[in-house]
Amino acid sequence: MKKISLHFKVGLSFLLLSPFSKSLALEIVDYGSLRIHYYETSETLSTYNAERSFSENEKAVVAGAAQYLESTIGNVGARDVNIHMMWASGLSESTLGSSSSSAYILTTGEGYNFMATAAQTVWAYGLNAGDANSIDCQIIFNPSFNFYTGQDASGFSGLDLQSVVTHEITHTLGFSSSYNSMTDLFGYEYAADEYAMQIWDHYLEDGNGNLPDPGSSGTPGDFNQVDAPVYWTGENGNAAYQSMAGVANNAQIPIYAPDPFQSGSSLSHVDELGFDGIGGTGDDLSGMMNYALSAGESYREFNAVEKGMLEDLGWEIIVIPEAGSLLLMAISACAVLLVGRRK
C-alpha cells in the first residue's frame, strides 16, 4: 500500500539556534500552555504560503490535541509555547505533516552543553527564553489529503487528523534526533568546533553498543544509524516497555532506523515493527510516535512506553488514578484520560 508520512525537523547560555522570522498569524488561540497560531489563506510562514485556512472542525481537532497534552503534562512553563500551524503545499506527496522547532543550547551545572527544543526549554525546564512573539515551532499540514476530523476515535475509515496533530506537537517536545545524514555527525555546531546534541540522542544506542557523540559519528565506534532498529536506553521508557506482556526483562525500546536512512523519520520514532516482533504481541504495542499511520487508525493518547520516554526527556506526566483508587481516596478523605510514514 502507498506510504504516507509525517515529517519534522528539528540555553543556561540561551543560544537560539535557527530562529524563524517574526511573521505572525492573524488568529491566535490559547490552550493552556500552548498558544496556537492559525494561518489563513495566503499568509506566510518561513518559506511556506498558506494554501487555505483551518475549518472550524479542524480547529476543534487541534483544540482536542492541545487539551490532551495540557491534561497529561504537569510541567509549569515560564511562558506559553507558540506553535504556528498552516495548510501549505511543498511537502512530498507521501507526507501528511511536517514539524520543526527553534532550539536552544543549554548548559548544565557541570558545564555540559546540550540542545533542547524551544518547547522543552520554556515548558519542561521553565526557562524564560525568547518572548511572547517567538515562533517556537511550526507545523505544516498537507492540504492534498482529506483528513477525518470527527470526535469519535473509532469506526472511521480516513486519516485521523487529531492523531497527526498530537504526533507533530510531540516531536516539538523533544522526540527528535540531531543526527545529520549529510555530514554523518550528531549535533549542531553552535561555535567553532563546539557541538551540542539533542537530549533525545543521549538515549540512543546501536546494536553494537555505540552511542551518539556531539560533533562525531559516534563513540566508541561509528553509530549505525541504519541498524534496523537502534535502541532507547532511558530508564523510564524501558521500564514501561519491559512491563508489557511478552517483553524480556532486559529489553530496550526499538527506535526506527531503516536501511536506507530516511531523513525526518529515521532515529526519531518508535519502531512499530520492532514492537510487533517481540513476544508476538502484535499491533497492540503500536502508538502515537510510530513512524506510520494507517487509515482508520487513531492514536490520540500516549501509551505507557511513550509516557516513560517523555519522562526520560524531562517531562512530568500527570498520573490519573483508576476508578478503584479514586474510591479509596474518597473514603480516606471522609475519614480524616492507506499506512503512513510519520516523520
pLDDT digits (tens, 9 = 90+) for 186-206: 999 988 999 999 999 999 999
Rounded mean pLDDT of 25-36? 92
Q: What is the pTM of this model?
A: 0.88
Q: Which is higher by pLDDT, 244 or 171?
A: 171
Q: What is the mean pLDDT of residues 134-143?
A: 94
What's the pLDDT at 11? 33
More confidently predicted of 279 and 62: 62
C-alpha count within 13 angstroms, C-beta hemisphere, residue 327: 3
Alpha helices in the chain (DSSP H): 56-72, 118-119, 161-172, 235-242, 272-276, 304-312, 323-335
Question: Running DSSP on this structure, what letter comes out for residue 39?
Answer: P
pLDDT value at residue 74: 97
Q: 523510564: which residue's cell?
A: 236
- Tally of CA atoms within 13 A in the half-sphere of 250 that contains its CB: 0
Quick: pLDDT tens for 50-59. 999 999 999 9
Pairing of strands 188-191, 194-196: antiparallel
Is pLDDT above 60 for 333?
no
